[in-house]
């Protein structure tokens, strides 16, 4: 059921997004030639993803009785543009040259600049990527502000979106700064990054957006926020696990990027806490090493297993998923089939491999 729901939602959003950007394409291309293909590039970039956040807007609306109409689809498409904005900038900060099995946006611009005879193409790519991400964010807000929706509720929706994106940015600042600081970070601070950078944005925000569109009350939105936070923390822990254990072909980007970037993840925090002094010494030479080799990654994986770090975090993910499940089962006045899809999503979120 879930796979069908997600694939149908992606198809509907993928069909709606080009129409929305086409309406804005004439203005973009009238500014200069960079605007000519940016709309198409954003459609292509978004289309390579699963569009789960957009699907969650539709799911949140369906949960409280709103069909997959034009307003809901427009909001879902805007959510995917916000996702594109964050991913484009995230790839720049993480120096990732691949995203979703293809060159990241800034890498593609660098390649384009090289083929067209530009100088300093690496910096060119970074600069144009920042601009592309900015445009994607403001296209999303333009679409949301144009929704044919009751004005007071629309103001609440826009306030929710802007507040949550601000939270993502501030949490990202903490996440980035952790990677440049030599000291370790306590698990509580890491979880707060997970909560505001990933959890609320990935699940709480789109589910609440859909619920607002369906006229759900504040209590319902607060319950969805709590469910989303649990789901999002599991999602981020799972992302960290995938980055450590899955191959680059499976995840569409190079494995070990968190290690190279010295990201302060729960996996790292628990490992450093459990490691012996000689192991910590070697780990200090691996984390943050931009020339990470496969043997270093294999060493980290072996320590994760021998010190029970992976098992510990498996237990945490199970506990958080159970909390979210109980909350979903307690929701009042919701569509039964949509509740079932949300419960299935909890299981998928826990078990995913990419």
Question: In residues, how long is the chain?
Answer: 354
Task: Check the CA dihedral 272-275-278-283 and report its sign.
Answer: negative
pLDDT tens column, 8-35: 999 999 999 999 998 888 888 888 888 8
Cα–Cα distance list, 196 to 174, 183, 282 (Å): 11, 22, 32
Question: How far apart, in whole angstroms, are the C-alpha atoms of residue 60 and residue 65?
Answer: 9
Pairing status of strand 102-103 against strand 98-99: antiparallel
> Over 70: is that where the pLDDT of 156 sits?
yes
- Residue 317: both structure tokens together: 């993910």
Cα–Cα distance list, 83 to 43, 57, 141, 151, 165 (Å): 12, 13, 12, 25, 10
Percent of the chain predicted with pLDDT > 90: 79
> Over 70: is that where the pLDDT of 243 sits?
yes
> Over 80: is that where the pLDDT of 252 sits?
no
Q: Report whether 139 contacts 21 (CB < 8 A).
A: yes
pLDDT tens column, 167-214: 999 999 998 898 788 888 999 999 999 999 888 999 999 999 999 999
Q: Where are the alpha helices (DSSP H) in the chain?
A: 2-31, 34-47, 52-63, 70-94, 105-115, 121-145, 151-180, 187-193, 205-213, 218-245, 248-251, 257-260, 266-274, 277-286, 294-306, 309-329, 336-351
Distant-in-sequence, close-in-space partners of 307: CB < 8 Å, separation ≥ 6? 270, 271, 274, 275
- Please tell me whether residue 316 adopts helix, strand or coil conformation: helix
DSSP 333: S
Percent of the chain predicted with pLDDT > 70: 98
pLDDT tens column, 106-135: 999 999 999 999 999 999 999 999 999 999
Confidence band for 245, pLDDT divided at 50, 70 and 90 = confident
DSSP character string of 60-129: HHHHTT--S-HHHHHHHHHHHHHHHHHHHHHHHHHT--EETTEE-HHHHHHHHHHHTT-SSHHHHHHHHH
The pLDDT score that the predictor gives to residue 16 is 96
- Residue 299: both structure tokens together: 């060493």
Q: How many CB atoms lie within 10 A of CB 47?
A: 15
DSSP 255: T
> Over 90: is that where the pLDDT of 220 sits?
yes
Is CATH 1.10.600.10 the classification given to domain 150-354?
yes
Q: Report whether 338 contacts 72 (CB < 8 A).
A: no
- In the chain, ranges of CATH 1.10.600.10 domains: 1-148, 150-354
Question: How far apart, in whole angstroms, are the C-alpha atoms of residue 238 and residue 212?
Answer: 29
The pLDDT score that the predictor gives to residue 37 is 86
> Over 70: is that where the pLDDT of 248 sits?
no
Instruction: Read off the pTM.
Output: 0.91
Confidence band for 249, pLDDT divided at 50, 70 and 90 = low
Confidence band for 247, pLDDT divided at 50, 70 and 90 = low
CATH of domain 1-148: 1.10.600.10
């Amino acid at each position: 059921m879930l796979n069908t729901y997600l694939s149908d939602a992606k198809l509907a959003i993928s069909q709606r997004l080009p129409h929305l950007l086409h309406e804005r394409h004439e203005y973009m291309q009238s500014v200069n030639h960079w605007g000519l293909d940016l709309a198409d590039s954003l459609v292509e970039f978004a289309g390579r993803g699963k569009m789960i956040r957009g699907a969650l807007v539709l799911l949140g609306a369906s949960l409280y009785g709103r069909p997959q109409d034009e307003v809901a689809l427009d909001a879902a498409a805007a959510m995917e543009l916000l996702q594109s904005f964050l991913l484009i900038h995230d790839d720049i900060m993480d120096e990732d040259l691949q995203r979703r099995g293809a060159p990241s946006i800034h890498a593609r611009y660098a390649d384009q600049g090289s083929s067209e005879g530009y100088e300093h193409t690496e910096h060119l790519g970074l600069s144009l990527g920042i601009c592309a991400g900015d445009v994607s964010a403001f296209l999303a807000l333009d679409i949301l502000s144009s929704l044919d929706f009751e004005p007071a509720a629309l103001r609440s929706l826009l306030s929710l979106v802007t507040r949550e994106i601000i939270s993502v940015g501030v949490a990202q600042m903490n996440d980035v700064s952790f990677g440049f600081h030599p000291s370790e970070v306590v698990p509580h601070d890491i979880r707060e990054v997970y909560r505001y950078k990933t959890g609320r944005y990935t699940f709480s925000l789109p589910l609440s957006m859909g619920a607002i569109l369906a006229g759900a009350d504040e209590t319902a939105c607060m319950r969805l926020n709590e469910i989303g936070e649990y789901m999002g923390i599991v999602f981020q822990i799972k992302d960290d696990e995938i980055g450590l254990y899955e191959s680059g072909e499976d995840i569409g980007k190079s494995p070990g990027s968190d290690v190279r970037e010295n990201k302060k993840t729960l996996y790292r925090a628990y490992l450093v806490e459990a490691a012996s002094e000689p192991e910590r010494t070697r780990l200090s030479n691996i984390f943050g090493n931009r020339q990470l080799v496969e043997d270093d990654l294999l060493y980290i994986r072996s320590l994760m297993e021998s010190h029970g770090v992976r098992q510990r975090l498996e237990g945490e993910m199970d506990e958080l998923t159970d909390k979210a499940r109980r909350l979903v089962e307690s929701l009042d006045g919701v569509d039964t089939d949509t509740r079932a899809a949300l419960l299935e999503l909890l299981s998928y979120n826990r078990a995913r491999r990419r």
